[in-house]
Amino acid sequence: MQETPPLVVDVDGTLTGPDQAVAPRAMTVLAEWPAPVVVATGKAFPFPVALCQFVGIEPCVIAENGGVVFVGESDELVFGGDPEAVDAFVAAYRERGHSLGWGNVDLANRWRETEIAVSLDQPREPLDELAETHGLTVIDTGYAYHVKSPGVDKGTGLRAVAEELGYAPGDFLAVGDSINDVATFELAGESVAVANADEHAAAAADRRTDARYAAGFLEAVEPYR
């Protein structure tokens, strides 16, 4: 068994099954991990915080693809990106008659502070066009389109969290499944893409698991268990 590195782990597609439910065995791994665990997600801030609380670990979180960073220990919340540009984007997008696509009670964006998520069933072209006008970029995680500031990602989040925790980004083991994990993969000492990973994450990772979704996560961390 090798010494356990701190872990930076994605949520959707990595800790979850194809049904989007977090796998209980993956939660056990996080609860028992003997080094810091950083939950890094495209989801809004309350989701990873709740995950950490229900798992029973100190919340150490990169949310909104790096737009929101929180290290529970140091009691500091850091925001990145350009929320005003995102607000202007959303106004222009709605003005053109488009919808974010999440229905009346928009749980994807209700607590979102630095970027906006658009349902994958909405057309891509107006997003790209209007994002560019507002100095923003669009990524497709396989779960949503995220319209975000270009200089902010899970990698900028990892740099900030690592410094706060007294580690280098290169000390971390990173596990993920999609384009929004490429930035952490590039910084981490070891990066693992689960078998369901998109082409971007698969290409950026040091290794790729045989198993998909949360079973892939369990396989990724097996050498350290």
Ligand X SMILES: O=C(O)COP(=O)(O)O
According to CB under 6 A, which one of 71, 144, 182, 183 is a site residue for ligand X? 144
How far apart CA 143 and CA 33 sit, in angstroms, is 27
**Residue 36 near residue 6 (C-beta atoms within 8 A):** yes
Residues 24-63 contacting Mg ion, CB under 5 A: none
Determine whether the annotation assigns residue 181 to a binding site: yes
Q: CB-wise, 2 or 38, nearer to ligand X?
A: 38
Sign of the CA dihedral with 204 first, then 207, 211, and 213 last: negative
CB-based burial, 48-80: b 16+ in 10 Å, e otherwise: bbebbeebebebbbbbbbbbbbbbeeeeeebeb
Backbone angles phi, psi at 105, to 5 degrees: -95, 100
Stretch that binds ligand X, among 11-19, 52-60, 202-210, 213-221 (CB under 6 A): 11-19
Binding flag, residue 177, Mg ion (CB under 5 A): yes
According to CB under 5 A, which one of 12, 64, 115, 153 is a site residue for Mg ion? 12
Kindly report the number of other CB atoms within 10 A of residue 125's CB atom: 7
Binding flag, residue 11, ligand X (CB under 6 A): yes
Q: Measured from the CB of residue 182, what is the shortest distance to Mg ion in angstroms?
A: 11
Backbone angles phi, psi at 149, to 5 degrees: -75, 135
Task: Indicate if 10 belongs to the active site.
Answer: yes
Binding flag, residue 43, ligand X (CB under 6 A): yes
Q: Measured from the CB of residue 213, what is the shortest distance to ligand X in angstroms?
A: 11
Binding flag, residue 153, Mg ion (CB under 5 A): no
Helical (H) or strand (E) element with 8: strand 7-9
Q: CB-wise, 166 or 186, nearer to ligand X?
A: 186
**Residue 53 near residue 31 (C-beta atoms within 8 A):** no
Stretch that binds ligand X, among 10-18, 73-81, 82-90, 202-210 (CB under 6 A): 10-18
Binding residues for Mg(2+): 10, 12, 177, 181
Binding residues for substrate: 154
- Residue ranges in contact with ligand X by CB under 6 A: 10-13, 41-43, 141, 143-144, 178, 180
